[in-house]
Amino acid sequence: MEQKKVSIVHYIITAVIAFGFGLLPPFGAMTEYGMGLLGTFIGAVYGWSTIGMIWPSFIALTAMGYYMGMAKMLAASIGNPVVAGLLIIFPMFAVLSELHVTEWLANKFITNKLSLGRPWVAIGMIFLGAYFTSFINSILVIIIFGTFVCTLCKNLNIAPYSKFATSMMIGVAYAVMLGQIAVPMIGTGLTFSLAFQGMFQTAMPYAKFMAFMYPAGICLLLIYLAVMKFVLRVDVSPLKNLTIEMLGEDTGKLNSDQKKAAGFFLLFTVVIMASSLVPAQSAVGVFLNKFGFFGIGAIIAAIMMLVPMSDGRPCLDYVKSATHIAWDPFWLTAYIMVVSTYLTGADTGLSATIAMVLQNFTSMSPWVFIIGVLVFAAVITNVANNLILTIVIMPLLFQFAGMVGMNGTGLVLVLFLTTQLALATPGASPITAIAMSNVTHVKVMDMMKMSFIVIPIMLFFSIVIGMAWSSVIF
């Protein structure tokens, strides 16, 4: 596909912002160091929107290294286990793609009895699939479902950069983010729960947590489907008019080579899930966590290199498959991992600045304050780390909950929902970054524009449904 020529002006602006923003006088409680890191983020978002993924990521990473030290930056970006793990995951996916396993899975999904001829049911099942599996590992799940959406578009001859592809990619990203906080004993849900417990010195009621999160999440995904249909007016006729005969041989049974490749990837997924589910202090938990995301993937990839296919070739020829590594999401994720870790640190002043802004709301009436803070959270979550933002806001919401007759824990869970609306920019979250990096089928600017329509609607329903359901559960 021929790349559109980009004006040199956009390259200059990206570099000037990334390196020069730190020279501006600090505002609020921001430090000079914090201004520098914030500038890399603003420059990166501008570059991703106007140039592409890789060049702005290089500039942003280099600017981060300038402000915080190159060794520290590299350890937190390329040295991050998830980022390094992408060098294993993408070659595995290349094998699945080469053997048409991803096409087979996509075709089976859309031609089952429940989905065939019912496009909105099929789309809803895709979102629910991402929602219910994201607790395993949100990065892995968004890679799987992002690839799934691209394969689906290819199989149905849906043009790249269409409204269908854009809205589907936003939908799976939103589903993964909602799903990653639905289980309070694992992953992001556990992190949020521990933050709550540490702040208020009381255990999060796990049963009520899940009784709130799962129904609320499903309702919000159904509403997003309605937004796709009635607000965005997405054309789903390719799904509605689909027949099994149109998809050809990729709807039959898997051959032995396909089963081997699929089996290895399934093994990787199961082991990753086990490393999250088993108690960290148990012998199995300690053993698996020593390997981590990268180590588990590397061992399985090494085994694949030893297992022959039917023609004698190894199941994974890493050198060959590595030519298919998706460098856009790799470098984008590398930057997101380091900026999300350090931008909201105490030494940047960003969290303190956010707290100062929130103090201006405290003179308002309790209801206005609560709504205003939840809206503020949904906006700032597209810039700040979700966890840090939540920690800053939680005590204020908990304090004001009693003034309006609400349970403090229930209102905090509504906050958890609103901070999952990090959909507006590639820098909003690693999940959104990976979704937006599927550049063969979506454009960053298209996803950003559509997100500006989607976020206010979903924020409204997050608050309404969240408050109503929390009053029932709590």
How many Cα atoms sit within 13 Å of 179 on the Cβ side? Answer: 25
Average pLDDT, the chain: 89
Kindly state the tokens that stand for 283: 């012998």
Q: Give tens-digit pLDDT for 355-378.
A: 888 887 778 888 999 999 999 999
Q: Give tens-digit pLDDT for 128-162.
A: 989 998 887 898 889 989 988 998 898 888 999 99
Percent of the chain with pLDDT over 70: 96
More confidently predicted of 247 and 315: 315
Question: What does the pLDDT average to over 172-176?
Answer: 97
Q: Give tens-digit pLDDT for 428-454.
A: 888 999 999 999 999 999 999 999 999
Domain residue spans of the chain: 1-76, 81-182+211-324
| pTM for this prediction | 0.85
Nearest C-alpha neighbor of 100 from the set 150, 65, 151: 151
For residue 306, count CB atoms less than 10 angstroms from its CB and return exposed for 0-12, middle for 13-18, buried for 19 or more: exposed
Per-residue model confidence (pLDDT) at position 37? 95
Per-residue model confidence (pLDDT) at position 1? 43
Q: pLDDT at residue 203 above 80?
A: yes
Query: What is the spatial distance between Cα 52 and Cα 356, in angstroms, rounded to a whole number?
Result: 35
Per-residue model confidence (pLDDT) at position 329? 87
Query: What is the spatial distance between Cα 311 and Cα 299, in angstroms, rounded to a whole number?
Result: 23
Per-residue model confidence (pLDDT) at position 2? 44
Q: Give tens-digit pLDDT for 80-137.
A: 988 999 999 899 988 988 888 877 777 777 677 787 788 999 899 999 989 998 887 8
CB 108 within 8 A of CB 319: no
pLDDT band at 4 (very low <50, low <70, confident <90, very high): low
Encoded amino acid at 103, one letter: E
Nearest C-alpha neighbor of 427 from the set 344, 307, 361, 355: 344
Q: At what angle do helices 81-98 and 283-306 cross, to 10 degrees?
A: 40
Using alpha carbons, list the distances in angstroms from residue 216 to 42, 376, 417, 433: 33, 20, 9, 24
Question: What does the pLDDT average to over 59-84?
Answer: 95
Per-residue model confidence (pLDDT) at position 142? 92
Q: Give tens-digit pLDDT for 224-243.
A: 999 999 999 999 998 887 66
Per-residue model confidence (pLDDT) at position 247? 54
Per-residue model confidence (pLDDT) at position 243? 64
Kindly state the tokens that stand for 49: 């929107």
Q: Determine the 3-state secondary structure of 253 from DSSP.
A: coil
Percent of the chain with pLDDT over 90: 56
Place of tokens 């980022």: 83
Q: Give tens-digit pLDDT for 384-422.
A: 777 778 888 888 888 888 888 889 999 999 999 999 999
